[in-house]
A and B are shown apart, each in its own frame.
Chain A
Amino acid sequence: MGYTAAMKELSFILNGHEVKERNVAPTTTLLQYLRQHLQLTGTKEGCAEGDCGACTVAVLDPHGEDGPTYRAINACLVLLPMMQGQTIVTVEGLKTGDQLHPVQQKLIEAFGSQCGYCTPGVVMSLFEACYRKDLDAEWKVDDQLCGNLCRCTGYRPIRESARSLAGRCPNDRFLEDLRQAESSERSVHYESEGELYLAPESFDALFDHLDTHPDVRLVAGGTDLSLEITKRFVRPKKLLSLEAIEALSEHRVEGDTWVVGAGVTLSRLERPAPKYAPALARMLRFFAARQIKNRATIGGNLCTASPIGDLAPVLLMLDAEFVLRSRAGERIVPSAEFFLSYRKTALRKKEIMSAVRIPILTAHAEHRLSAYKVSKRQELDISAVSAGLRVELEHGKVKRARFAFGGLAATPARASRLEAAVTGQPWTEASLEKALPALEQDYKPIDDHRGSAWYRMTIAKRLVLGFLLETESEPSPEHAYRPTGTVDPEASR
């Protein structure tokens, strides 16, 4: 099936009203649209880069893990055509008549606003929390809110509100909307102000577009690409979105492989990951914030090929494979062969990543694995160093090692020299200490504002040691709490 060239209009539901729009440029962000076109100024701009949460709004996702759910997203990073067919709730839409929504009421009662500028965003994150059914640990509630910076309150009242509201949604019209939720038309063919935005529903249509518009830019969640628009004021003339292709957002188990569509968002991965790839789950704990994870895709994270991308080290460590698809069909590339050089990947022209094949590994005393991320701030920060680490042991000696790091080189990469140095050696602290200098042959990290070369190299080494200690008792450690620091061999609160 192709697309209808006639679709010249975007339509979505905003605070219960249907909106049709045909006049704004497709690179207009939802935030700009709300504030400047609709004069809905409740939603704020604090950074235009996904880092403060002042712009948080909620969208209704009919396909949540526990049924239809609301998802908080950063309005500053979504382009208006991405909202095609969506149901959007902004802070202005929460009141029913004069009646405040329970999250609004709670925040007032908890003295949770001072200057009030972060508040609309906090309210919308709380709104998602309120309708979520899976916030069963304190650290998860904290994680839900870590994308909302507040400079005034010191967070205590916000955290308190979140804990009391999480999962306690009232039986109200928003819940009713969830019950009634249906999938909607997500395909887009929208052109305005000389800019084109395409979101086809099928691979065929996708490859047609790629043929017709060789200069088109691919986009998935847009959390990376939109920064060019909001921070560098570049306006891509043509965008081709992968969002409407359903096959890309599915994941399934095939034998001993977990096959994850490239378009699966990170928050959607969080539920199955502990079962199929606990190390990935552990990394997701330290990845961005809820609003970002609700949009960002696994494929986007890999294809943008950032040297500090956090998923790559984990997937390299797991010996994952990437499925690349073009008109000609699919080819499978081992993760270790995907990242070629700085921001360059094995993707060819007119080719996309369609899936990630992750071996389901069973951790045990002889097969240990984990993932780590160190950043200046533990929430919503880019790595100084991230790592995926795995050893297979035989009679106390290393049979096979997979040590992959981000933040140490121009691409995420395996530490082949260190891997070689430990292989065949006893897996003990003393023997590891001897092998660790090999890491200096693997990487020549750089100094920047996220960390000095010294720091990067030092913690990279320490993480391997920490991994050794941490996995002594627990082959694939998963803490029930948020530890101080990414590695905690002496588990306790």
Chain B
Amino acid sequence: MSPKASALGTSLPHESGHLHVSGEARYVDDLPPPRGMLVAQALTSNVAHGFIRRLDVRRARVLPGVHAVLTAEDIPGHNDISPFARDEELLASSEVHCIGQSIALVVAESLELCRAGLARIEIDIEPLPAILSIEAARAAGSFLSNEHVIERGHLETAFAGAKLRLEGTVETGGQDHFYLETHASLVTPLEDRSFLVQSSTQHPSEVQAKVAEVLGLSSSAVVVECPRMGGGFGGKETQAANFAALAALGAHHTRRPVKVWLNRDQDMICTGKRHPFWSRFRAGFEADGRITALEVETYSDGGFSADLSKPVLDRALFHLDNAYFIPNLRFSGRVVRTHQPSNTAFRGFGGPQGMFVVEHVLNLAAERLGLDSAEIRERNFYGPAPRNLTPYGQEVTENRLARIHSELLESAEYRARQASIAAHNQSHRWKKRGLAFQPVKFGISFTNAMLNQAGALVNIFIDGSVQVNHGGTEMGQGLHTKMRVIAAHELGLPLSRIRLMTTATDKIPNTSATAASSGADLNGQAVRQACVTLRERLKEVACGLLEIPETERAGVIFEDGQVRHPASKMTVDFSALTVRAHRDQVSLSATGYYRTPNIHYDEAQGRGHPFHYFAYGGAVIEVEVNGFTGEHRLRRVDVLHDVGDSLVPSVDRGQIEGGFIQGLGWLTSEELVVAESGELRTHSPDTYKIPALGEAPPDFFVHLLERAPQPDVVHGSKAVGEPPFMLAIGVITALRQAILAYGSGAAELSLEIPATPEAVLRAIESRREPR
């Protein structure tokens, strides 16, 4: 068997797979403790809103083994860790805004001593009225943003002419990221007032900036490294800065390495989550199920500070249309401020919350009009002009919705199964099934144009081995695996010659967060460019070795670790080339840089081009619902997803499957129960239930759309991190189908989210007993 010329497009194990399975992969908390390392724990607020009347840490400071007890007064620089709004203190100075907010930091020789120290801190917080729901915040006029409005057409005329008019409200809840690795940061003081920060973060550059700011240093005094993360999902985009800054503050004062690591309860109590949304809608439809008008007024719960809430809300508005052309519309949204931990990025970034609204509206319409879920959705798809304009005026290009719809319905045997499910439901009194089709269209890019840039640094060594650095972080999404393939492809090397390096701000500066599904798009282009630069340099050297004129350099081929040219009989090993290059004084190091062109948006107008392109996907989902208890399960899921020309199909498939199951958790089992005091009741896996293995459908068929290269993206590929999450919205549609099969009670089926067994049983009961 001849070696394959390039690994591009083949399924590969995770770049660190062999380290994961052997326990050798190191995460921040696994790093060998540097000499003299201390640990730190924060005293956190136990009231949702209050005024700190007294804070006395003296008794804690004198405890043997406690090295420092720090408060807001001990912060040498700025007491702020917000990404941009300047509204989030590292240590609360006078007012606390949520349970779990840090007030003081105990640095000691062990966690146990930290706890003993914490117990000795005397604190008196005067409770103030707390706002704990979107409703209460709206009533109190408590907002974190102005209203963002996107409008077009003639809403009222369209409503007036509609055959079916719907009105209602819809709510989706929060979601804890539940990355398996909780937040962790280790900060080591180096020489000359500089610091090394090893942090489990999706955004090393922001951690660097915030640590520098808190310590009153310039960014050049701080190096941030992220070895890898045990999951991020958005939860470590802005919020890692908090814990890195705490550790840095401790290291600054004690002059010793300090680690801050959160246990699961602390992580769940103290950090922000997916934004809960509440929306009111009005919709108008034609008799055939085509939507003619949609008005949505939506509010998200931002928690106590801005964090990324505004861009999350924006993305929700940009996805209220999902895959559908809506001629007349008004979408408006606003972030409310409550006394909860500041909600933050989470896979989909508002997209799921926005999409859920329109999917809910379509479900209601389909149920009223007697249309099937696939039918009503297909009728509303974006199509050729004029049905190709999004509410914000960007054209829907490379539209693959119709193709996905027809290929998927066929491969999933949708029609045949629909019939057999109907028959099953007829003959089973206590076990009903439902089938649904769910399309997704998701915009790719940071909607803030500036963030769409990335850098890479590729170093080739004299022996021909290669180190690749790029600005992205590895959190399991397979970014390093993809970057390695791209580098190997460009340099014609086997994967074994390419090593991916720890993400570090001294290698690649001023990076954006690894987020918005854009990690591979942006960093991939940068890595590619750096490799191309090196390859072009090496071609010149190759001409000498291959004994061909330099004018022939364009024809030099890099393949399988060898270099050759059609005009030469010789082949030379890549390492011979690098030895020669070094001797010829040719640099073997190059940087790469990429920025996405043409991203802009004008919020005042509600018009622009916020996305580089759209990713598409579809799912057919079958559920079964137990009529005694409301328990339910997925029976089969078929997904057809558009990832362009996949860089690494195994990685993309993993993102699709994992995203889907995470969406399933959000919608069916993950419940953040908050007490009247604002206290989170479900702060560990004992009570907060993410899907376990049994929730995965026994039949889970995932296919990547074939022959679908995406123009202007690295090797025709497409982003895949977030879009599949939203395919799971169809689970709710399928559940509704099954519940409807139980009876014809109340006129409109109401099903709460998350659709836990209890919520489903409530819905079933409401069907059974007509009121």
The chain A residues found within 8 Å of chain B, CB to CB, are: 35, 39-49, 51-52, 54, 90-92, 94-95, 100, 103-105, 107-109, 111, 113-120, 123, 138, 142, 145-146, 148-159, 231, 233, 374, 376-382, 384, 448-452, 455, 458-459, 462-463, 465-466, 469, 482-490
A469 CA / B428 CA spacing, docked (Å): 13
Asked if B17 contacts A113 (CB within 8 A), the reply is yes
Chain A hits for B568, CB < 8 A: none
Q: Would A485 and B626 be within 8 Å (CB), given that A91-B22, A154-B658, A455-B761 are in contact? A: yes
Asked if A459 contacts B628 (CB within 8 A), the reply is yes
Most A-side CB within 10 Å, residue of B18, B264, B693? B693
Asked if A152 contacts B231 (CB within 8 A), the reply is yes
Asked if A116 contacts B228 (CB within 8 A), the reply is yes
Asked if B653 contacts A449 (CB within 8 A), the reply is no
Instruction: Mark contacts of B674-700 with chain A using CB atoms, 8 A cut-off: 1 yes-contact digit, 0 otherwise.
Output: 000000011011110111111110101
Question: Which of A149, A452, A462, A486 interacts with B685 by CB under 8 Å?
Answer: A149
Asked if A116 contacts B16 (CB within 8 A), the reply is yes
Asked if B694 contacts A462 (CB within 8 A), the reply is no
Question: Which of B23, B27, B430 interacts with A469 by CB under 8 Å?
Answer: B430
Nearest-neighbour CB distance to chain A for B58, whole angstroms, equals 23
12 more A-B residue pairs beyond the given contacts A146-B693, A462-B628, with a C-beta to C-beta distance below 8 A: A111-B17, A113-B16, A116-B476, A142-B694, A151-B690, A155-B693, A156-B657, A159-B696, A379-B694, A459-B629, A485-B633, A488-B430
Nearest-neighbour CB distance to chain B for A482, whole angstroms, equals 7
Instruction: Mark contacts of B748-760 with chain A using CB atoms, 8 A cut-off: 1 yes-contact digit, 0 otherwise.
Output: 0000000011100
Question: Which of A47, A103, A151 interacts with B179 by CB under 8 Å?
Answer: A151
A149 CA / B691 CA spacing, docked (Å): 8
Q: Would A92 and B23 be within 8 Å (CB), given that A52-B180, A487-B629 are in contact? A: yes
Asked if B671 contacts A449 (CB within 8 A), the reply is yes
Chain B hits for A376, CB < 8 A: 669, 671, 689, 756-758
Chain A hits for B25, CB < 8 A: 116, 119
Nearest-neighbour CB distance to chain B for A35, whole angstroms, equals 8
Cβ < 8 Å to A, chain B residues 251-276: 263-265
A-B contact pairs, 26 of them (CB 8 A): A46-B180, A47-B685, A47-B686, A54-B180, A90-B23, A92-B22, A103-B21, A107-B17, A108-B18, A116-B20, A117-B27, A120-B23, A146-B692, A150-B180, A151-B231, A374-B757, A376-B669, A377-B694, A450-B687, A451-B758, A458-B765, A463-B628, A463-B629, A484-B631, A486-B626, A488-B430
Asked if B181 contacts A117 (CB within 8 A), the reply is yes
Asked if B662 contacts A49 (CB within 8 A), the reply is no
Q: Interface size for chain B: under 10, 10 to 19, 20 to 34, or 35 or more residues? A: 35 or more
A118 CA / B682 CA spacing, docked (Å): 21
Cβ < 8 Å to A, chain B residues 447-471: none
Chain A hits for B233, CB < 8 A: 151
Q: Would A115 and B476 be within 8 Å (CB), given that A151-B690, A463-B629 are in contact? A: yes
Q: Does B654 contact A (CB under 8 A)?
A: yes
Consensus secondary structure, chain B interface: loop
Q: Identify the closest chain B residue to A121 (Cβ).
A: B180
Question: Which of B23, B231, B431, B700 interacts with A154 by CB under 8 Å?
Answer: B700
Question: Which of A40, A109, A138, A486 interacts with B629 by CB under 8 Å?
Answer: A486
Chain B hits for A44, CB < 8 A: 27, 180-181, 230
Chain B hits for A377, CB < 8 A: 669, 689, 691-692, 694-695
Chain A hits for B475, CB < 8 A: 115
A159 CA / B697 CA spacing, docked (Å): 11
Asked if A145 contacts B21 (CB within 8 A), the reply is no
Q: Does B650 contact A (CB under 8 A)?
A: yes
Asked if A115 contacts B23 (CB within 8 A), the reply is no
Nearest-neighbour CB distance to chain B for A148, whole angstroms, equals 7
The chain B residues found within 8 Å of chain A, CB to CB, are: 11, 13-14, 16-27, 29-30, 32, 112, 115, 177-182, 228-233, 263-265, 428-431, 475-478, 624-626, 628-633, 650-651, 653-654, 657-662, 669, 671, 673, 681-682, 684-687, 689-696, 698, 700, 756-758, 761-762, 765
Q: Identify the closest chain A residue to B116 (Cβ).
A: A233
Q: Would A158 and B654 be within 8 Å (CB), given that A104-B21, A465-B628 are in contact? A: no
Q: Would A108 and B629 be within 8 Å (CB), given that A114-B477, A115-B229, A153-B658 are in contact? A: no
Asked if B14 contacts A116 (CB within 8 A), the reply is yes
A49 CA / B682 CA spacing, docked (Å): 14
Asked if A466 contacts B628 (CB within 8 A), the reply is yes
Asked if B14 contacts A459 (CB within 8 A), the reply is no
Count A/B pairs, Cβ under 8 Å. Answer: 267
Chain B hits for A465, CB < 8 A: 628
Asked if B692 contacts A119 (CB within 8 A), the reply is no
Q: Would A109 and B13 be within 8 Å (CB), given that A44-B181, A378-B631, A451-B758 are in contact? A: yes
Nearest-neighbour CB distance to chain B for A437, whole angstroms, equals 15
A118 CA / B14 CA spacing, docked (Å): 14
Nearest-neighbour CB distance to chain B for A383, whole angstroms, equals 11
Asked if B20 contacts A449 (CB within 8 A), the reply is no
Q: Would A488 and B431 be within 8 Å (CB), given that A115-B229, A119-B21 are in contact? A: yes
Nearest-neighbour CB distance to chain B for A409, whole angstroms, equals 19
A90 CA / B625 CA spacing, docked (Å): 40
Nearest-neighbour CB distance to chain A for B110, whole angstroms, equals 9
Asked if B181 contacts A108 (CB within 8 A), the reply is no
Chain B hits for A47, CB < 8 A: 264, 684-686
Chain A hits for B693, CB < 8 A: 142, 145-146, 148, 150, 155, 158-159, 379
Q: Would A489 and B22 be within 8 Å (CB), given that A115-B181, A455-B761, A462-B629 are in contact? A: no
Asked if B431 contacts A39 (CB within 8 A), the reply is no
A463 CA / B430 CA spacing, docked (Å): 12
Nearest-neighbour CB distance to chain B for A30, whole angstroms, equals 15
Asked if B625 contacts A484 (CB within 8 A), the reply is yes
Asked if A155 contacts B696 (CB within 8 A), the reply is yes
A126 CA / B189 CA spacing, docked (Å): 41
Q: Would A152 and B658 be within 8 Å (CB), given that A115-B181, A142-B693, A378-B631 are in contact? A: yes
Nearest-neighbour CB distance to chain B for A147, whole angstroms, equals 8
Asked if A91 contacts B23 (CB within 8 A), the reply is yes
A11 CA / B693 CA spacing, docked (Å): 36
Chain A hits for B633, CB < 8 A: 378, 484-485
Q: Identify the closest chain A residue to B229 (Cβ).
A: A115
Q: Identify the closest chain A residue to B428 (Cβ).
A: A490
Chain B hits for A114, CB < 8 A: 14, 476-478, 654, 658
Chain B hits for A103, CB < 8 A: 21
Nearest-neighbour CB distance to chain B for A450, whole angstroms, equals 7
Most B-side CB within 10 Å, residue of A113, A138, A154? A154
A48 CA / B229 CA spacing, docked (Å): 19
Asked if A111 contacts B758 (CB within 8 A), the reply is no
Chain B hits for A54, CB < 8 A: 180
